[in-house]
Amino acid sequence: MRGILLAGALCALSTAALADPPKVGQRMIAQSVIVCDTRDQVKALYEAAKTAGGKGFAVKYRELNELVDKAGEPTCNVQPILGSAVKSVEDVGKAISASGRTVHGWLIEIAGAAGASGWVLYGERGPREIAI
- How much is the pTM? 0.77
3-class secondary-structure state, position 85: strand
CA 82 to each of CA 6, 20, 52: distance values in angstroms, whole numbers, following the listed order: 22, 17, 33
Q: Average pLDDT of 45-62?
A: 88
What are 64-120's pLDDT values in tens digits?
Answer: 999 999 999 999 999 999 899 999 999 999 887 777 778 889 999 999 877 788 999
Strands 76-96 and 117-128: unpaired
Q: Is 120 exposed, middle or buried (0-12, 13-18, 19+ CB in 10 A)?
A: buried
- Residue 18 to residues 22, 44, 45, 68, 110, Cα–Cα distance (Å): 12, 23, 20, 31, 19
